[in-house]
């Protein structure tokens, strides 16, 4: 069975455009805490009240508006082979773990950005979370997190949409992560090349 990487290679060889969704992936974060995502789901719908009347065969379903968006995320933090300038990519995974725990336990709403959805960050509140660590898997922990759309109080004026500014922050964070990883990769490549082409002992 072909993998996504295989399909991307085939697309490149046949002159097809690259996988756009991969190029547009954003780092997952809540507030300023970054994390990896194993799975994520979004739940939404309409608030429907169904009326059934005595002596009537036909019901009437009344639309009472949109339901609040719900997000369920399986996140994880894992040890990275070497230290970078980003908390999520360090040898001590506990740094990213503790930063995420602190972000989840803060009072009030925060900005949630997932790699593929929503396309722009959304203000949410944390309804509950669970962090799990296992003895047989060192340097790794998982989070099961439930988020609910924050919205705004009906008595208040709707705030200005911060999407543009927040998206710039997400793109800047993505660029920071990519640059940091590329710099480390280039350094290791130079070291490996020097070992191969360096002077040999006689």
Question: Phi-psi category of 142—alpha, beta or left, where left has phi over 0 and alpha has psi -120 to 50?
Answer: beta
What local confidence, expressed as pLDDT, does residue 6 receive?
60
- Cβ 27 vs Cβ 174: under 8 Å: yes
pLDDT tens digits in sequence order for the chain, 202 residues long: 445 556 666 777 777 776 777 777 888 999 999 999 999 999 999 999 999 999 999 999 999 999 999 999 999 999 998 888 889 999 999 999 999 999 999 999 999 999 887 567 789 999 999 999 998 989 999 999 999 999 877 766 655 555 566 666 666 666 766 676 677 666 666 666 666 665 554 4
Residue 142 CB neighbours (<10 A): 18
d(CA 38, CA 114): 11
- Cβ 87 vs Cβ 99: under 8 Å: yes
Q: Encode 92-104: b = buried (16+ Cβ within 10 Å), e = exposed.
A: ebeebbebbbebb
Whose structure tokens read 């660029």?
175
118 preceded by a cis bond (ω within 30 of 0): yes
What local confidence, expressed as pLDDT, does residue 201 receive?
47
* Helices and strands in the chain: count of H runs, count of E runs: 4, 8
The hierarchical CATH code for the domain 21-46+64-153+162-194 is 2.40.30
What local confidence, expressed as pLDDT, does residue 164 receive?
60
Domain boundaries, the chain: 21-46+64-153+162-194
């Amino acid at each position: 069975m072909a993998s996504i990487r295989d399909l991307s290679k085939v697309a490149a060889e046949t002159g097809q455009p690259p996988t756009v969704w991969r190029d547009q992936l954003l780092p997952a974060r809540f507030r300023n805490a970054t994390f990896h995502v194993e799975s994520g789901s979004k739940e939404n719908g309409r608030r429907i009240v169904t009326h059934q009347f005595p002596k009537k065969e036909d019901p009437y379903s009344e639309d009472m508006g949109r339901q609040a968006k719900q997000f369920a995320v399986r996140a994880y933090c894992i040890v990275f082979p070497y230290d970078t300038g980003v908390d999520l990519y360090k040898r001590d995974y506990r740094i990213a773990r503790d930063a995420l725990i602190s972000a989840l336990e803060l009072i009030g709403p925060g900005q949630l950005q997932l790699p593929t959805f929503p396309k722009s960050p959304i203000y949410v509140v944390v309804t509950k979370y669970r962090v799990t660590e296992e003895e047989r898997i060192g340097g790794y922990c998982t989070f099961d997190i439930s988020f609910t759309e924050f919205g705004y109080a009906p008595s208040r004026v709707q705030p200005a949409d911060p999407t543009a500014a927040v998206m710039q922050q997400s793109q800047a964070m993505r660029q920071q992560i990519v640059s940091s990883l590329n710099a480390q990769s280039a350094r290791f490549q130079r070291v490996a090349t020097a070992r191969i082409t360096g002077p040999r002992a006689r």
